[in-house]
Structure 1
Amino acid sequence: MSNEKHFYLGANTPYGFFSYYDSIVSQQEARKIYCIKGGPGTGKSSFMRKIADKILPLGYDVEFIHCSSDDDSLDGIYVRRLKIALLDGTSPHIVDPKNPGAVDKIINLGEFWDEEKMCAERQGIIDTNREIGETFARAYKYLAAAKAFGDDMTVINEKLCDRYERNLYVDKIINDELSHLCICPVTGNERKLFASAITPSGLKFRPETLFDGYRVKILRGYTGNVLSEISDAAAKRGLDTEKFYCVTEPAKKCEHLLIPHLKLAFCTDNEFHNYSNGEVYEFSKKDGYREEYAYDMQMYKNLLNKTVETLSHAKKLHDDLEKFYIPNMNFKKIMSLCEKTIKQILEMA
């Protein structure tokens, strides 16, 4: 029986669009990475979904990489056992071949549009693209403003948390889960991903697909850098890890952690990403700064809502952009190429 995982490689953040696309699979490990090029509405997501739908019933686990700008669309799929990935290679992802022919292969769906008709839509495409860019820039400004209040909440939490308790927790996890393993000369590999995203339809999080089959330890309260410390301890013992980062601190803050070899998972549970199916540990908090924290939280939520509203407007504009492309595509030929690609993938099985 096959399993699905659903997550993100790119996210809308206070720093703009932030990508971990290189984390899906290394060039050394991959058998084939298909970089799919083409404009909006050219069928990239449908192309990948059709391949996934064909492969899943054959017993292969498939990772579905959702688009943070349209949660119903796919930015990629990865068939882990076959080490084969298909990725949207268009802006803002910009996935380009690093080892063309040997590892990477370009699939250009632009070959199947009517270029003469597309040129006739030139000004409409340019104008709509410009407005989309301006709208995303505005959304990122709202998100940056939200981060300022989030940063103040972090300062308050640092003042009120018990660092000794957090140190004890990390020590207990290392003793209980890792002490039987020796420090290794080879450090475990680290995969960086996003479990959640701020999308045009709100905050999205699919924990049940990530944690299925794992022993889950649910952490509530202010965790600080607990998960990074546990991840570092696992890596020193040669264990690979999957670290899921916070969209407001995409380069620094790990929110969820998987250690696949141990089938062990850690999930940060709060009102923005909730999960309850596991062993709960709640970090204590001293009393204080209640009014300040409540104000920060309200402002943070208001600005997140404004960000979602703005992203929703960007999606409507993107839907308008697709209307320039869809009537001018030869989808019959695209589906024929899709069937050919499925055959190539299965021949590598």
Structure 2
Amino acid sequence: MAGQVKHYFARGNTAEGLYTLYDSVLSGLDTVFVINGRSGSGTSELLGKLAEAWRDNVWTKHYIHETLDNERLEGIILEEARIGIVDGNAWSADPVLDGTEIRIVDISEALRSEILEEAEAGTVEQEQEMAGLYKNAYESFLRTLRIHDEWEKFYIDNLDREAANRITSDFADEYLIPVRSKGAKITRRFLGAATWQGAVDYVPNLTDSLRTRIFVKGRPGSGKSTMFKKLAKEAETRGIDTEIYHCGFDPNSLDMLIFPELSLAIFDSTAPHEHFPSREGDRILDVYELAIKEGTDEAFADEIAEIRARYTSFMKNSIALLSDVKRIRDEVWEEYDAAMDPKSLKVLASLIINQIDELTNTSALTEE
């Protein structure tokens, strides 16, 4: 039987610009293969070949999706093998992780050098145009966040903080029971991202195997992220391993916590990642009902409607700019793809697979 597959993001197109959590995502691995070099779509194709090669083995596989186009991969982690493969353009120009062996893979070996030189020379203006569009998109996201701050204020001003603190402490006492005495392992990721097609999230995939799922409902400013931060801190104090998932729009905000040892997740289940209970073990926690002054929605309905309309308009503008980036990048990548030698790319994939076979007892991790 094939192993579990987890999907998430390590980077985000956010109100703070292109924000990365790769150092946390890759921390603790024994070996990381870094694919370096300009290749158009070649790196994601290489990662796709690797994913297909490992599709039926019993490793738990982490598929790290590209933040602009989530249909492409920019990294893979083989959990039990403690090995990662990552696009060097996505992670770091000078990759360093304490205690981790870094193996550089030069994808230029799969490129026809003369065609590559032509591609690099012919796409300078397009690269500059993409940089400008990204800058405008991030500025638009920041303006959208400031509008969101206006929206939050209605609920922050009507928040019963004692009730909010009680919700947090009651949850910790009921659920955060250490399974053994140890230090906590903390990992930070993104559950979703603002892509060229809009918001995408992997909450169902990330929580599907868990016994208990807490769907937190509420409004902007009703204390969801603050609660998650307090719970994450409390879990660390109690020695409970925690996967912390940051908001793909505002990376200073948290959207989900997963406690693998407890088979437990608690997450913000409001737009743009709204989900609903569907099985035993699912529970709704509505912080609006429990901690916001009754009648707040009705008292400020007109003002909130106007803010929501502005927020939606600016968010659409931000996504449209990312869509323009995607369109131009596709044109650029066509030039680079022409330089790709498919046979050489297949050979490169085989070399990585062979090195990983040498690093691991693959037969013990693969179904007979």
| TM-score of the two chains, using structure 2 as the length reference | 0.88
> Match of 1:282?
286
> What CA distance in whole angstroms lies between the structure 2 residues aligned with 1:269 and 1:300?
19
Report the AA paired with residue 155 of structure 2: N
Change (3 A) 1:53 1:120: closer
Residue matched to 2:125: 127
- Other-structure match for 1:314: 325
- What letter corresponds to residue 136 of structure 2 in structure 1? R
Bigger shift: residues 264-273 or 154-163: 154-163
CA distance in 2, matches of 1:120, 1:282: 57
**2:298 matches 1:302:** no
Task: Map Cα deviations across residues 302-338 of structure 1 (whole Å, 9 max, x no partner).
Answer: 1111111111110010001111111112221111110
Return the match for 1:332 from 338, 343, 346: 343
Corresponding residue SS for 1:243: strand
Aligned CA distance change for structure 1 residues 58 and 123 (closer, same or farther; 3 Å): closer
Gaps of 5+ in 1: none
Q: Structure 1 residues 99, 17: closer, same or farther in 2, change over 3 A?
A: closer
Q: Please say if residues 194 and 319 of structure 2, whose CA atoms lie closer than 8 Å, have aligned partners that are also in contact.
A: yes
8 Å contact 1:71–1:201 — kept in the other structure? no
Q: C-alpha offsets along residues 103-156 of structure 1, whole Å, 9 cap, x if unaligned?
A: 110111123222223323444211111111111111111111101101112222
Q: In the alignment, does 2:273 pair up with 1:273? A: yes
What displacement does 1:99 show? 6.2
The alpha-carbon distance between structure 1 residues 245 and 264, as it changes in their structure 2 partners (threshold 3 A), is: same
Deviation, structure 1 residue 86: 0.7
Indicate whether 1:62 and 2:58 are aligned. no
Could you tell me which residue of structure 1 aligns to residue 187 of structure 2? 191
2:164, 2:118 → 1: CA distance?
A: 62
Q: Is the 8 A contact 1:181 1:237 kept in 2?
A: no
Contact kept, 8 Å, 1:40 with 1:321, in 2: the verdict is: no
**1: CA distance between counterparts of 2:113 and 2:53?**
31
What is the CA–CA distance in structure 2 between the aligned matches of 1:15 and 1:270, rounded to whole Å?
A: 22
Deviations 1:279-305 (A, max 9, x none): 001112321332222222211111111
Query: Hey, what's the Cα distance between the residues in 1 that align with 2:132 and 2:320?
Result: 14
Q: Which residue is 1:9 aligned to? A: 10
On the 8 A contact 1:196/1:206 being kept in 2, the answer is yes
**Contact kept? 2:23, 2:97, Cα under 8 Å:** no
Once the two structures are superposed, residues 239-286 of structure 1 have per-residue CA deviations (whole angstroms, 9 ceiling, x without a partner) of: 111111112321x21111101111110011112111213200111232
Q: Which residue of 1 aligns with 2:366?
A: none
Amino acid at match of 2:87: D
Distance across 1 between alignment mates of 2:97 and 2:258:
29
CA distance in 2, matches of 1:142, 1:297: 16
Residues 1:191 and 1:101: Cα distance change in structure 2 (over 3 Å): closer
Residue 102 of structure 1 and its aligned partner are, at CA, apart by: 6.2
Amino acid at match of 1:276: F
User: Would the alpha carbon gap of residues 148 and 320 (structure 1) be closer, same or farther in structure 2, given more than 3 Å must change?
Assistant: same
Deviation at 1:158, TM superposition (A): 0.8
Contact 1:200 1:311 in 2 (8 A): yes
Give me the whole-angstrom Cα distance separating, in 2, the residues matched to 1:270 and 1:43. Answer: 36
Please give the secondary structure, in 2, of the residue aligned with 1:143.
helix
- Pair 1:256 & 2:256 matched: yes
Residue 346 of structure 1: how far off its partner (Å): 2.7
Deviations, residues 212-248 of structure 1 (Å, cap 9, x unaligned): 1211011101224111111111111111111111123
Name the amino acid aligned to 2:259. I
Residues 128 and 321, structure 1, Cα contact 8 Å, conserved in 2: yes
Moved more, 286-295 or 199-208: 286-295
Alignment map for 1:64-83 (pairs within 5 Å): 64-83=63-82
Counterpart contact for 1:21–1:95, Cα < 8 Å? no
Does the 8 Å CA contact 2:115/2:338 hold for their aligned counterparts? no
Q: 1:118 to 1:99 in 2, by over 3 A?
A: same
Structure 2: distance between partners of 1:180 and 1:156: 37
- Quote the Cα distance in structure 1 between the aligned partners of 2:98 and 2:110: 22
User: What is the rounded CA distance, in whole Å, between the counterparts of 2:19 and 2:178 in structure 1?
Assistant: 37
Structure 1 residue 344 and structure 2 residue 355: aligned? Answer: yes
Residue 211 (structure 1) aligned with residue 212 (structure 2):
no
Q: What SS does structure 1 have at the residue aligned with 2:338?
A: helix
Superposed CA deviations along residues 58-85 of structure 1, whole A, max 9, x for unmatched, are 1111111111111111110111111111
For the residue of structure 1 that corresponds to 2:55, the secondary structure is helix
User: Identity, % of aligned pairs?
Assistant: 23
- Unaligned residue ranges in structure 2 (runs of 5+): 362-368
The 1-side partners of 2:93 and 2:167 are apart by 40
* 1:219 alignment partner, SS class: strand
The answer to whether the Cα contact below 8 Å between 1:267 and 1:275 also exists between their aligned partners in 2 is: no
Paired letter, 1:45: S
What RMSD in Å do the two structures reach over aligned CA positions? 2.0
Q: Are the structure 2 counterparts of residues 262 and 102 from structure 1 closer, same or farther at C-alpha, using a change threshold of 3 Å?
A: closer
The SS at the match of 1:160 is coil
**TM-score normalised per structure 1:** 0.93
CA distance in 2, matches of 1:294, 1:227: 27
> What amino acid is the match of 1:190?
I
